[in-house]
Chains A and B, each alone.
Chain A
Amino acid sequence: MLLYPAVAAGGFRRYATYGTATAAGVFTNTVFGFIVAYTYIALWDERPGLGGYDQAQALTFVWVSQSLLAAGALIGGGFQEELQERVRTGDIAVDLYRPADLQLWWLAADLGRAGFQLLGRGVVPLVAGALAFPLALPADAVRWLLFLVSVVLALVVSFAVRYLLGLAAFWLMDGSGVNMMATVVSILFSGMLLPLTVFPGGFGEVVRLLPWSAMLQVPMDVLLGVHAGAGSAAAALGFQAAWAAVLLAAGRLVQSAATRRVVVQGG
């Protein structure tokens, strides 16, 4: 049963070898953090308390989002292109022969990748942001712990959605169109573009119930203390866990339908 931890460690090490790319990513996340932070200051100056956040909370939202972006593969990246490529070339047949579960294999590898990017690309932008702006980071260890649990659940939900996109290659052959549309949806509905609490009216209410909300908005709210109190925190984590379970189960169903389509050509 040490197989999947080993796969995860492999995923971690694989991304750890891209030193320059990681440094470049940290630089870019930091630059974007500064730009977005100034626009948020202008917005919250105009409307204090917008979306239920004060200005320090809004700025925390910006910088922690930049730190989670690569780990959650919110604007693409991650593994689904690789899975699609393996389906297209037929290498997937080799994967199906392995004495391992396909979905768990990719989940372990993706969590390893995410783990590296959380450390490699997450810490520096957040420190830069905390030095330059007044942030509302909690001093309470329990809240940080709840945030970490929420981040892990967010990564699993993100994986489960991207696994479905990867499997779409069994029917589409070329995944680039689907990937692009999925990125549009993820940027808009995760809270990356603007906190989902700022989205107006009924549209905002619907958006907050979708799985993308579990990828960024919920962990951010857990960190910012919107879900203070045991009941509220449990509800937030339960929302994420429910989406994770539903989407992973959907992934299983689609996977079994997809593998029935595999015809090994040989040669």
Chain B
Amino acid sequence: MAEAVLEREPAVREAVRRGRVREGLRGYGLIVAMWIRSTMAYRTSFALATLGNAAITLLDFVAIWIMFSHVSVLGGFTLPEIALLYGSCSASLGLADLLMGNTDRIGARVRDGSLDTMLVRPVPVLAQVAADRFALRRLGRVGQGLGVLGWALSSLDVAWTPGKVLLVPVMVVAGAAIFAAVMVVGAAFQFVAGDAAEVQNAFTYGGCTMLKYPPTVFAADLLRGVTFVVPLAFVNWLPALYLLGRPDPLGLPGWAAFASPLVAFAVFLPASLAWRAGVRSYRSTGS
């Protein structure tokens, strides 16, 4: 009898785990829907905030545009080529920020003790933290990024193949997943370090600022760091270089351009382990 239970245990645990994922998604959806309803109570304010969100992120592109009023190439890349990098990275970061961006508030929650309430609710903490204060206005950045990406694709002379057509949406979605995993690691780090939300910004916003420019601009050590340590190069550099038919400065093989979804999956494993370790180490301040 005992053996039978033990034998079945992995299957039972698998079922419980699946149940938790479904429960997490359901909880996430409910919290998100609540925040959207609350935002939509003030529609004008929402419209202005979405426009403002798009405008503030478009500023980086203004900088690039002003640079190109003085030069015709930067790091050997033309304006439409840089727009491809800019648009894809901006759309990916925008998506990750929309879905997971509020995980950086975890430090504040640890400090003020409001994480305690989340721990007693029957929804996984990560789902609650990610959906907390869900801001639909962040669609502004996604829309703006996709707009620039669309302009870049229409101005570039790409030799399209089915593989290259497929690579565009894969690049944006896998890029968002990589950024989301970085956000989860950053949130887990805040359990240890306290209020260190800005460290996360260095990798997400800072990473995206870097990925907007061609890899030829940066020192080789920096490139190795964002390829093999924090694999941000898979967000857009490697797929975009393949689309443009340009070699990778680190000499990675061509199939690396298609590895982004695998890389996204690979970074989610340490991210989820770090997150669990973080939640387990949590000691309430009691306030």
Residues of B within 8 A of A250 (CB): none
Interface residues of B in 104-129 (CB under 8 A from A): none
**How far apart sit A176 and B219, CA to CA, in the bound complex (Å)?**
39
Taking a contact as CB atoms under 8 Å apart, the answer to whether B56 and A32 are in contact is no
Choose among A24, A187, A188, A193 the residue that contacts B199 (Cβ–Cβ < 8 A).
A24
Interface assignment of A198: CB less than 8 Å from any CB of chain B: yes
Q: Is A28's CB under 8 angstroms from B49's CB?
A: no
A20 touching B206, Cβ below 8 Å: no
List the A side residues contacting B59 at CB < 8 Å. Answer: 184, 187-188, 193
Which of chain B's residues have a CB closer than 8 A to the CB of A174?
A: 45
Interface size class of B (residues with CB under 8 A): 35 or more
A128 within 8 A of B: no
Contact indicator A42/B74 (Cβ below 8 Å): yes
Q: Are A27 and B199 in contact (CB under 8 A)?
A: yes
How many angstroms between the C-alpha atoms of A179 and B107 in the bound complex? 23
Does A118 make an interface contact (CB < 8 A)? no
Closest CB in chain A relative to B56 CB, distance in Å: 5
Contact B194 A46 (CB under 8 A): no
Which stretch from A33-41, A103-111, A208-216 is at the chain B interface?
A: A33-41
B198, B206, B222 pick with most chain A CB within 10 angstroms? B198
| Partner among B52, B198, B222 whose Cβ is within 8 Å of the Cβ of A177 | B52
Interface pair B45/A28, CB less than 8 Å apart? no
Q: Smallest CB-CB separation from B57: which chain A residue?
A: A184
Residues B36-70 near A (CB distance < 8 A): 45, 48-49, 52-53, 55-56, 59-60, 62-63, 66-67, 69-70
* A194 interface hit (Cβ, 8 Å): yes
Given A28-B206, A174-B45, A177-B52; 15 other pairs, CB 8 A cutoff: A21-B196, A24-B193, A24-B197, A28-B202, A31-B202, A35-B209, A35-B213, A39-B217, A43-B67, A46-B70, A184-B55, A188-B59, A194-B63, A198-B66, A198-B70
A200 to B60, CA, bound (A): 16
State whether the Cβ of B73 lies closer than 8 Å to any Cβ in chain A. yes
Contact of B71 among A27, A46, A194 (CB under 8 A): A46
Chain B residues with CB under 8 Å of chain A are 45, 48-49, 52-53, 55-56, 59-60, 62-63, 66-67, 69-71, 73-75, 193-199, 201-203, 206, 209-210, 213, 216-219, 222
Q: How far is the CB of B244 from chain A (nearest CB, A)?
A: 17
- Please name all residues of chain B whose beta carbon is closer than 8 Å to the beta carbon of A6 when the two chains form the complex: none
Among candidates B55, B56, B67, B222, residue contacting A34 with C-beta atoms closer than 8 Å: B222
Q: How far is the CB of B212 from chain A (nearest CB, A)?
A: 9
Residue pair B48, A23 in contact (C-beta under 8 Å): no
Q: Compute how far the CA of A109 lies from the CA of B114 in the bound complex, rounded to whole angstroms.
A: 29
Which residue of B48, B70, B197, B213 is within 8 Å of A39 (Cβ)? B213
Q: Is the CB of A23 within 8 A of B196?
A: yes
Least CB separation from A75: chain B residue: B56
CB contact under 8 A between A20 and B196, given known A38-B217, A180-B56:
yes
Q: Chain A: which residue is nearest B69 at the CB level?
A: A200
Q: Tell me the chain A residues, 167-215 only, with Cβ under 8 Å from chain B.
A: 174, 176-177, 180-181, 183-184, 187-188, 193-194, 198-200
A31 CA / B203 CA spacing, docked (Å):
9
Among B62, B197, B218, B219, the residue within 8 A (CB) of A193 is B62
User: Is A184 within 8 A of B52, CB to CB?
Assistant: yes
Separation of A47 and B60 alpha carbons in the complex (Å): 20
Establish whether residues A180 and B49, one from each chain, have CB atoms under 8 Å apart when the complex forms: yes
